[in-house]
Amino acid sequence: MKRAPAIDPKTHALFLDFDGTLVELVDDPSAVALAADRIERLREIKERLSGALAIVSGRRIADLDRFLAPLDFAAAGVHGLERRRRPGGAIESLMTSEALDPVRNALAPTLEENRRLALEDKGTALVLHYRTAPDLSEVAKRVMSDAAKGRDDLVVMAGDNIVEVHPSGMDKGRALEDFMAEPPFAGRIPVYLGDDTTDEFALRKVSESGGIAIKVGVKESIAPYRLADVADVHHWLDVCGI
């Protein structure tokens, strides 16, 4: 794979994953932090791109706002189930939390029996974390698959030490397409950075549309460009031309 290229602030739009891209993966998802100078750099980039910067994450937008304060930015949260289409805009939700109540109930006995598994409830998605209990990975995958069985409206997706269930028909690629249809992104060339399996949907869409798809880390990817790790991402953000 090739080294990630420079980009043009007049013609490109930048989409960034959060965990594993802007911040390191950690055992406690609530314990991540981004240095103030890195947040300031993102603000500068957003201004240089005339607002065409979005964070595209499995996290809730409310959590992204807390981690990135005082940055004001467009965002897709919970893999696109939450949207803030432009900086300063309202957060929209594409489904209600109650749709996942049967899954919550089905997971409860396993969570009671296996306290080392951690359930992250995002309202519109449920994530089982097993980073601190890798021996329970198959248990987590099986119980999530069983809990969602028969639900054509749901999809189960494996990630980095997680297994997640959320509504079908929505992923980061679809979220990116929707952003690109509206200002300030419309008419620009998309650039996407992401590290995980869930980012491959967006990396594929970007590649197909003639944009710049950049994989972070060593995992196999559709993306033709590569950055080594989170530190390399921040170095690239400093030298990428915006």
Task: Give catalytic residue positions.
Answer: 17
Closest C-alpha among 204, 38, 22 to residue 190: 204
Token digits for 139? 């248990």
End-to-end CA distance of the chain: 23
Residues 6+ apart with CB under 8 A from 28: none
- Bin 50: left if φ > 0, else alpha if -120 < ψ < 50, else beta: left
**Overall residue count recorded for the chain in this entry:** 242
Q: Which residues pair with 82 in a beta bridge?
A: 77, 93
Does residue 140 sit in helix, strand or coil? helix
Q: Are 57 and 19 in contact (CB under 8 A)?
A: yes
**Amino acid letter, 57:** S
Q: With beta carbons less than 8 A apart as the criterion, state whether 74 and 150 touch.
A: no
